[in-house]
Amino acid sequence: MHRVDFVELAGYGPGRGTGGSSAIRLLKDLDLDIVGQDILLVEDVVDTGLTLHTLTRTLGLRNPRSIAAVTLLDRPYRRLVEELPVRYVGFTVPDEFFVGYGFDLDERYRNLPDLHLAAAGNGG
């Protein structure tokens, strides 16, 4: 049997978005009990790994059988954390900003049916 649940995390602190240190805060926790369960975390982008690392450690304290992650976009060369459970990767991408397919730039371009590099000078 498969079940779906959601968490919401937020980064905050002086380094958010600048490559400096920031803390990860849990805004919405799981509703389901995960003891003894195989957990598959679904991420849009894995970049520094700080968020996924925090979530993996938090959920690991609840004794799941296993934790793995899937991501659409992966930037392994930006990792600040090693040993992440990223098992499935859609695309390994360069250090560029992407829009479309749900990714936005200032709340624009999210509706594009595929991924595009954001034009330089437009915040990307």
pLDDT, position 120:
57
Report how far residue 28's alpha carbon sits from residue 13's, in angstroms, rounded to the nearest whole number.
Answer: 19
- DSSP class of residue 48 equals S
CATH code 3.40.50.2020 region(s) in the chain: 8-93
Q: Give the CATH fold of the 8-93 domain.
A: Rossmann fold (3.40.50)
Q: Residue 29 and residue 6: Cα distance in Å, rounded?
A: 7
The dihedral formed by the CA atoms of 84, 54, 19 and 86, expressed in degrees to the nearest 10: 20
Instruction: Quote the pLDDT of residue 16.
Output: 43
pLDDT value of position 23? 86
Q: What is the pLDDT of residues 56-69, one digit of tens each?
A: 999 999 999 999 99
> Is 33 annotated in the active site?
no
Which residue among the candidates 5, 44, 47, 106 is catalytic per the annotation? 47
pTM here is 0.83
The pLDDT value given to residue 6: 97
* pLDDT beneath 70, residues of the chain: 12-22, 120-124
